[in-house]
Structures are given as structure tokens and as C-alpha cells.
């Protein structure tokens, strides 16, 4: 097949698949906590991580105790409990984190497996397939986090030592370091998603999947960036859909608040607050699950096209090089 630009075909097929296979939306919710697959989320999440990490380093340099506020919060909420209750809560939180990581990694494999299916597949079958790839998927997730941590130490962490410099010199390095860190985070996210696609589509091990992903990224860097930009725009569209959905949902809730004001009935206030909270959480999880499923499906289809047929960048076509 002659190399061609297939962005429209990939995105339309991914949209149809995720629309008809709504089970993928629910699977996308836990998968999004591991990696959403979108560059918008990668940028926003890593931006906050970089800022928080730099603050912790600066606190350490200045003699403060990093994480002291967390310790104060812990003492405030758990300090009055007995040691047995404190240990029980900490053990429960640790088990919940471990369970979340396990479910998230299995869900990632299940999403990529669902992207391969031509027909609707049940939850049990998808999770069984996701479980088969659990070890390799978790390995790639860990390597991606380690790569981001290493990138942070190289680019952002050294800026914390520039405090003694005059302000006129100090204000530029933090911005430059954050930009470099975010560009590196984008590349790491793209390679991670391509490697995950290779694990599920070609049953590769971690090393083979990373090599395959690097080859695709290296030979198709422009098309990979273009796919990332389109996924970035899809995240913006999803955010607008969420905003419109919240505005529509606010209409009956506003009526409920007005009714509670006229009737002076506290039960209506409690009901309105509870329903508002439930609607906001449900809409956020639903749209997040759909967006994650859509982005994973796009990466999976892009991996197949780039690996089997090759793709040509729109920029190269327009500039004719």
C-alpha cells in the first residue's frame, strides 16, 4: 500500500469504535489514571509535577522539611486516633493505591485489546486479555515514570539552585527548563503509547516494544507530532463538551435551588447539593473514560498504519519535502 496521510480515516474509525463499544468508556476510567494517551493531559499533569517538585527541592535547600504540610494534615485528621486505627487507615490506603495501579495497568491492556476487536466484546473477555499483558504494560508504565523523573532531575531540578543569582538572570532559566521538560514529556508519552500498542498488537516484550516504538517515532516523527496535536485538540473539544454538559445539567438543579428558597425546605438544599456533586463526578468520569478510550484507539490504529504501510506527514506534503 502506498504511504498516505490517513488521519481522517484513523480518527473517524476510532470515533465509531468507541461510540459503538461503550464498554470501553468504563474501562478508560481506571486506565486514565495510569496514562490518558493525550498530550494535553501529559502537558498539564507534568507541568504541575515540575512546579511541585521544584518547590520541594527549594524547601530542602532552604532548610525546610519537604512535605511538612502533608505531615501537618496527617496529624490534624489522624492524630486523635489510636495507633491501631492509624495503621489500619494507612494499610488501607496503601492497598487501595496498589489495587488502583493493578486495575489501571490491566485496563490499559484491555483498552488496546478492545481497539483490535471488530465486534463488541464483554468486560470479562477484555479484562482477561488485559491481564495477559499486565506485566509488560506495568513495566512500560514504570519505565515511563522513571524517564520522566530522570528528565526532571536533568532539566528542572538544577534550576532550584539558581536562587542566589540576580533576579534579572534568574527569571529565564525556570521557564526554559519547564519548556524543555514538557517537550521531553511529550516525546516520552508518545513513545510509551506506541510501545503499549506494540505489546498488545504484536505481543512484543518490553525491550522489543520500546525498540519498535522508537523506530516508528524516529522515522515518523512529524506524523507522530501531528497525531499528538490532533489528540490535544480532541482533549480541548472534550473539555468543551464537559462544560456544555455541566451547563445543561445546571438548569434543573438551579430550579431545585430556587424551589428550596421559596419553600424554605432544607431537604431540597441537601438534595440539590448531593445531586450536583453526583452529576459533576459522573460527567467528569464518563467523558474522561470516553476520551481515554478514544485516544488509546487512535494510537493503536496509528501504530498499525505506521508499522505496516507507513504514513506521510501533512507538513511534508504541504512543504513538498
Range among 160-164, 190-194, 273-277 rated most confident:
190-194
Please tell me the predicted confidence (pLDDT) of residue 237. 84
Res 169 pLDDT > 70: no
Contacts of 117 by beta carbon, 8 Å cutoff, 6+ apart? 21
- Hey, CA dihedral for 48, 49, 54, 59, is it positive or negative? positive
- Residue with more model confidence, 285 or 1: 285
pLDDT in tens, 176-197: 777 787 788 888 888 989 999 9
Alpha carbon 209 to chain centroid distance? Answer: 20
- Residue with more model confidence, 106 or 2: 106
CA–CA dist 173, 300 (Å, integer): 37
pLDDT in tens, 98-142: 888 898 889 888 888 888 777 777 778 888 888 888 899 999 989
pLDDT in tens, 223-247: 888 888 888 888 888 888 888 888 8
CA–CA dist 36, 159 (Å, integer): 29
Please tell me the predicted confidence (pLDDT) of residue 139. 92
Assign 91 a pLDDT band (cuts: 50, 70, 90): confident
CA–CA dist 301, 156 (Å, integer): 34
Please tell me the predicted confidence (pLDDT) of residue 39. 59
Res 253 pLDDT > 70: yes
Contacts of 20 by beta carbon, 8 Å cutoff, 6+ apart? 120
For 4: left if phi > 0, alpha if psi spans -120 to 50, otherwise beta; the answer is beta
Packing angle of the helix pair 172-202, 39-61 (nearest 10 deg): 130
Please tell me the predicted confidence (pLDDT) of residue 74. 62
Please tell me the predicted confidence (pLDDT) of residue 217. 87
Nearest-CA neighbor of 194 among 123, 229, 130, 144? 144
pLDDT in tens, 286-309: 888 888 889 898 998 888 888 776
Please tell me the predicted confidence (pLDDT) of residue 71. 57
- Residue with more model confidence, 282 or 42: 282
User: How large is the average pLDDT for residues 69-84?
Assistant: 65
Nearest-CA neighbor of 231 among 304, 303, 291, 154? 291
Amino acid at each position: 500500500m502506498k504511504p498516505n496521510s490517513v488521519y481522517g480515516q484513523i480518527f473517524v474509525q476510532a470515533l465509531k469504535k468507541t461510540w459503538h463499544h461503550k464498554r470501553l468508556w468504563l474501562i478508560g476510567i481506571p486506565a486514565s489514571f495510569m496514562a490518558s494517551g493525550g498530550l494535553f493531559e501529559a502537558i498539564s499533569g507534568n507541568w504541575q509535577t515540575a512546579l511541585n517538585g521544584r518547590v520541594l527541592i527549594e524547601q530542602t535547600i532552604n532548610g525546610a522539611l519537604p512535605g511538612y504540610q502533608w505531615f501537618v494534615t496527617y496529624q490534624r485528621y489522624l492524630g486523635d486516633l489510636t495507633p491501631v486505627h492509624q495503621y489500619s487507615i494507612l494499610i488501607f490506603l496503601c492497598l487501595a493505591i496498589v489495587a488502583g495501579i493493578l486495575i489501571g495497568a490491566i485496563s490499559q491492556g484491555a483498552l488496546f485489546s478492545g481497539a483490535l476487536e471488530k465486534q463488541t466484546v464483554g468486560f470479562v473477555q477484555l479484562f482477561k486479555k488485559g491481564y495477559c499483558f499486565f506485566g509488560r504494560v506495568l513495566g512500560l508504565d514504570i519505565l515511563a515514570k522513571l524517564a520522566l523523573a530522570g528528565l526532571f532531575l536533568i532539566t528542572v531540578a538544577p534550576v532550584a539552585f539558581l536562587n542566589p543569582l540576580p533576579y534579572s538572570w534568574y527569571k529565564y532559566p525556570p521557564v526554559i527548563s519547564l519548556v524543555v521538560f514538557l517537550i521531553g514529556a511529550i516525546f516520552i508519552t508518545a513513545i510509551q503509547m506506541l510501545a503499549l500498542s506494540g505489546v498488545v498488537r504484536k505481543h512484543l516484550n518490553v525491550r522489543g516494544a520500546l525498540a519498535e516504538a522508537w523506530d516508528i517515532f524516529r522515522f515518523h516523527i512529524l506524523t507522530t507530532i501531528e497525531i499528538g496535536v490532533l489528540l490535544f485538540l480532541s482533549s480541548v473539544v472534550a473539555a468543551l463538551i464537559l462544560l456544555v454538559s455541566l451547563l445543561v445539567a445546571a438548569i434543573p438543579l438551579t430550579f431545585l435551588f430556587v424551589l428550596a428558597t421559596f419553600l424554605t425546605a432544607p431537604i431540597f438544599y441537601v438534595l440539590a447539593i448531593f445531586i450536583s456533586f453526583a452529576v459533576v463526578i459522573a460527567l467528569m468520569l464518563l467523558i474522561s473514560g470516553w476520551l481515554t478510550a478514544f485516544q488509546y484507539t487512535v494510537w493503536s490504529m496509528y501504530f498499525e498504519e505506521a508499522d505496516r504501510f507507513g504514513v506521510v506527514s501533512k507538513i511534508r506534503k504541504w512543504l513538498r519535502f
